[in-house]
Amino acid sequence: MKNPTILDVAKLAYVSRSTAALALSKRSDKVNPDTRRRVLAAAEELGYRANPAGKALRTGGGREVAFIYHELSDFEMEHGAGPMWARFAMLLGMDLGRAGCRLFMLPKSAVEAEPHTVSAVLAFADRNGHAVLPDLPYGTPVWVATPADSDIPYARITHDFTAIATQVLDFVQAQRGPVADRALQIGMCVRGVVDPPFTHAMEAALRQVGQQREIDFIVERVDPRDADGLVAFDTCSREAEMDAVFYWGLCPTDLPEPIDGATRKQPLILAFCENELTNFPPQTPYVSFRLDDAARQVACAVAKTVDGSPIEDITLTHTFSH
C-alpha cells in the first residue's frame, strides 16, 4: 500500500482513528497494552509513517499555527490565484515569526482526523462555505477565510464586500452621471479559474448593491489563456456601449483612447487586483486587497489570541484608488 494513513492502521487494528493515533504517540501509556500492541503490529505491517507536518503540529511547543490549504493545479499556479496565496503564506509566516509564533503549512489531503495540539488554525472555506479541519482539542482558536455571511461556527477572515461595492458603484455613478431612459450598464470580466470564495463574494456584493440602484451587470468568465475570448469581451463591451467595465485578474487587450468628435463616452475601466496595479495605465481606478496588510492583520489577531485575548473575526482592509 502506498503511503498508508492512520485510518488504514486503525481499520487493520479494529480501533478508532483517535485510539490508533494515541497508541502511536508519546501518550501510548493511556492505551490498553493489548490494543497498543495490535496498533503497533498494524502500523509495522502497513509500513505506516506519520506525516511530518502533522507530527510537528501535534508535538509542538505551544505557539504553532496551522495553515490548512488546498493544493492547486499547475494551471491554477500559473494563471490563477496560486502565486497570490503563496506570497500571502510567506508574508504571514514572517509576521507570525516576529510575534513569536511558528507557521505550519498543511495541505487538505494530509489532514488526518486525529487530535492536533496547536495554538491556532487557519483554513479556507470552499465556495459553499465548507472547510476541512483536523480533529482539534476543544477551545482551539480557528479562523476560516470565507464570505462574512457564511454559516460557520468559527471566527471568520473576510472583507466588508458590501462597503467595497458601495464605494465602487458610488464612484462609477459619479463619473458617468445620470443616464436617461435606461439602467446603468456594467460589464465584468472575471478570470475563469478556480478561485477562493472572495472572488464570488465580491461579485455577489456588486450585484446586490447594483440591484438596489437599478444597475445591470453582464459577467463573462474568460480563460486567461484564451486571448480571443478576452478580445471578444472587450469588443462586445464597447459595441454594447457599457458605462463601465470591471476586470478581475485580467487586463483588457485594448484600453480605450479618447475619440475626437465621439458622440458617446468610452466605458470607465476599473480593476480589481491582489496587490499593486499592473498592466494598466497608472491613472486607472482600482481596488487592491493588499497581501502585506492582510498578512499583518491576520498575524496580529492570531498572536493576540494565542496570548490570551478573546478570538474575534478579522475583517481585512482594502484600498480603493481613483
Least confident of 17-26, 44-53, 289-298: 44-53
Q: Are residues 191 and 243 in the same domain?
A: yes
Cell 478508532, residue located: 16
Q: Are residues 136 and 205 in the same domain?
A: no
Report in angstroms the alpha-carbon separations of 228 from 11, 139, 153, 232, 234: 53, 52, 44, 6, 10
Domain that holds residue 70: 51-159+293-321
| CATH code at position 143 | 3.40.50.2300
Instruction: Tell me what pLDDT residue 105 has.
Output: 85
Number of domains in the chain: 3
Instruction: Tell me what pLDDT residue 122 has.
Output: 92
Q: Are residues 167 and 265 in the same domain?
A: yes
Q: What is d(CA 304, CA 147) in angstroms, rounded to the nearest whole number?
A: 23
Range among 168-172, 239-243, 288-292 with highest mean pLDDT value: 168-172
Instruction: Tell me what pLDDT residue 253 has.
Output: 66
Dihedral-angle region of residue 100 (phi above 0 means left; psi in -120 to 50 means alpha; beta otherwise):
left
Q: Are residues 185 and 203 in the same domain?
A: yes
Q: Are residues 165 and 283 in the same domain?
A: yes
Contact 267, 244 (CB under 8 A): yes
- Model confidence at 71, pLDDT cuts 50, 70, 90, reads confident
Q: Are residues 205 and 269 in the same domain?
A: yes
- Model confidence at 260, pLDDT cuts 50, 70, 90, reads very low
Q: Are residues 155 and 166 in the same domain?
A: no
Orientation angle between helical segments 161-176 and 197-212, nearest 10 degrees: 50
Least confident of 45-59, 205-219, 249-263, 295-309: 249-263
- CA 197, distance to chain mean position in Å, is 6
- Find the mean pLDDT for residues 191-196: 68
| pLDDT surpasses 80 at 275 | no
Q: Are residues 136 and 183 in the same domain?
A: no
- Which set of grid coordinates corresponds to residue 147? 464570505
Instruction: Tell me what pLDDT residue 94 has.
Output: 94
Q: Which long-range contacts (C-beta less than 8 Å, at least 24 apart) are formed by 234-239?
A: 234/189, 236/187, 237/187, 237/189, 237/267, 238/266, 238/267
Strand 244-248 relative to strand 268-273: parallel, antiparallel, unpaired?
parallel
Range among 158-167, 189-198, 240-249, 267-276 with highest mean pLDDT value: 158-167
Position 116, amino acid: H
More confident residue, 135 or 87: 87
* Among the listed residues 69, 107, 17, 234, the one whose alpha carbon sits nearest the alpha carbon of residue 25: 17
Strand 142-145 relative to strand 286-288: parallel, antiparallel, unpaired?
unpaired
Q: Which residues contact 218 (CB under 8 A, 6 or more apart)?
A: 185, 186, 187, 188, 237, 240, 242
* Among the listed residues 287, 283, 290, the one whose alpha carbon sits nearest the alpha carbon of residue 316: 290
Q: What is d(CA 201, CA 161) in angstroms, rounded to the nearest whole number?
A: 7
What is the DSSP code string of 207-241?
HHHHHHTTEEEEEEEE-TT-HHHHHHHHHHHHHTT
Q: Are residues 123 and 227 in the same domain?
A: no
Share of the chain above pLDDT 90, in %: 21
Orientation angle between helical segments 33-46 and 6-13, nearest 10 degrees: 120
SS3 272: strand
What is the DSSP code string of 101-165?
-EEEEEEGGG--SSB---SEEEEE--TTS-----B--TT--EEEE--TT---SSEEEEE-HHHHH
Instruction: Tell me what pLDDT residue 263 has.
Output: 46
| pLDDT surpasses 60 at 255 | no
- Model confidence at 195, pLDDT cuts 50, 70, 90, reads low
| CATH code at position 9 | 1.10.260.40
Contact 190, 77 (CB under 8 A): no
| pLDDT surpasses 70 at 112 | no
Reported as a single tens digit per residue, the pLDDT across 140-162 is 899 998 876 767 888 999 889 99
* Among the listed residues 234, 246, 299, 255, the one whose alpha carbon sits nearest the alpha carbon of residue 273: 246
Q: Are residues 133 and 59 in the same domain?
A: yes
More confident residue, 128 or 64: 64
Instruction: Tell me what pLDDT residue 262 has.
Output: 44
pTM, rounded to two decimals = 0.72
Range among 28-37, 219-228, 251-260, 309-318 with highest mean pLDDT value: 309-318
| pLDDT surpasses 70 at 261 | no
- Find the mean pLDDT for residues 31-50: 87
Q: Are residues 250 and 314 in the same domain?
A: no
Share of the chain above pLDDT 70, in %: 82
- Model confidence at 104, pLDDT cuts 50, 70, 90, reads confident
- Find the mean pLDDT for residues 167-187: 85
SS3 198: helix
Contact 155, 309 (CB under 8 A): no
Q: Are residues 155 and 180 in the same domain?
A: no
What is the DSSP code string of 2-69?
-S--HHHHHHHHTS-HHHHHHHTSTTGGGS-HHHHHHHHHHHHHHT----HHHHHHHT--S-EEEEEE
Position 79, amino acid: H
| CATH code at position 244 | 3.40.50
More confident residue, 92 or 254: 92
